[in-house]
């Protein structure tokens, strides 16, 4: 039976709009979720409400996760009309040795292996309106959900992040730091220190446009045992 260890990272001082959930479902099953509320559009309330709904729901399958997302989306749209109560969501469910991912918006999910990484959801870079258009609460139906699944691999490392992280560090560098870390806690510390160093020095890698993006930073790092 494949087991794992998990650590989280959050700096919510920029806007206070990020939320996360790391839920132990028993029997080595888990649900990891990051949510990035859309600033100026009730994002803080949206991300926290969705987190609470996923924390309280009975989750045994990815269909249960989608059911929660669809129900919360309907509620948000009825109240906010697609302009208020908006949040991204990226969720990873691991049950019976299988990893299933579902997401709306631009918060990426990666699986990092010994010499490569695979992106399962979200996006890197791009325009804000793309993330908003696909956010929970943006439309009467939650369409175009990102979906992916794969067998859990011993030694692989799962990363869920909001764009306050993924827009401020090259993904290749993020993957290297995760790969080199002895524990998920070390990965969280090293990545946060790298981003803080960029901020302190006032520089960014050229491929990231050399401009630091001041945003909330949230991530979940889960290492599967070898």
Structure tokens at 54: 């996923």
Residue 203 has pLDDT above 80, yes or no: no
Residue that the structure tokens 């979906």 belong to = 147
Average pLDDT over residues 105-131: 76
* 132-177 confidence digits (pLDDT tens): 557 999 999 998 899 999 999 999 999 999 999 998 898 999 999 9
Q: Which domain holds residue 81?
A: 4-224
pLDDT of residue 201: 79
**Residue 174's domain is classified under what CATH number?**
3.60.40.10
Average pLDDT over residues 85-97: 97
Instruction: Report the candidate in 50, 110, 35 with the shortest Cα–Cα distance to residue 80.
Output: 50
147 and 102 in contact (C-beta within 8 Å)? yes
In DSSP terms, 160 is beta-bridged to 109, 220
Domain count along the chain? 1
Residue 214 has pLDDT above 90, yes or no: no
Taking the complete model, does pTM exceed 0.85, yes or no? yes
Ranges of beta strands (E only) in the chain are 4-11, 18-26, 29-36, 89-95, 98-104, 109-112, 117-121, 146-151, 157-161, 217-224
Percent helix, strand and coil across the chain, each rounded to 5? 35, 30, 35
Residue 184 has pLDDT above 60, yes or no: yes
* 40-82 confidence digits (pLDDT tens): 999 999 999 999 999 999 999 999 999 999 999 999 999 999 9
């Amino acid at each position: 039976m494949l087991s794992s260890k998990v650590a989280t990272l959050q700096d919510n001082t920029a806007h206070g709009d990020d939320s996360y959930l790391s839920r132990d479902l028993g029997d080595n099953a888990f649900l990891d979720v990051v949510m990035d509320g859309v600033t100026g559009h009730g994002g803080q309330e949206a991300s926290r409400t969705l987190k609470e709904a996923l924390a309280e729901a009975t989750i045994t399958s990815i269909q249960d996760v989608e059911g929660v997302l669809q129900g919360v989306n309907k509620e948000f749209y009825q109240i906010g009309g697609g302009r208020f109560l908006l949040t991204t969501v990226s969720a990873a469910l691991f049950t019976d040795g299988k990893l299933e991912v579902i997401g709306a918006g631009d918060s990426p999910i990666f699986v990092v292996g010994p010499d490569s990484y695979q992106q399962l959801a979200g996006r890197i870079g791009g325009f804000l309106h793309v993330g908003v258009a696909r956010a929970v609460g943006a439309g009467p139906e939650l369409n175009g959900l990102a979906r992916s699944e794969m067998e859990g691999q011993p030694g692989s490392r799962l990363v869920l992040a909001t764009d306050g992280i993924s827009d401020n560090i090259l993904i290749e560098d993020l993957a290297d730091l995760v790969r080199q870390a002895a524990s998920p806690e070390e990965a969280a510390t090293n990545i946060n220190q790298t981003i803080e160093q960029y901020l302190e020095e006032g520089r960014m890698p050229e491929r990231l446009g050399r401009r630091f993006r001041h945003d909330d930073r949230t991530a979940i790092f889960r290492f599967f045992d070898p």
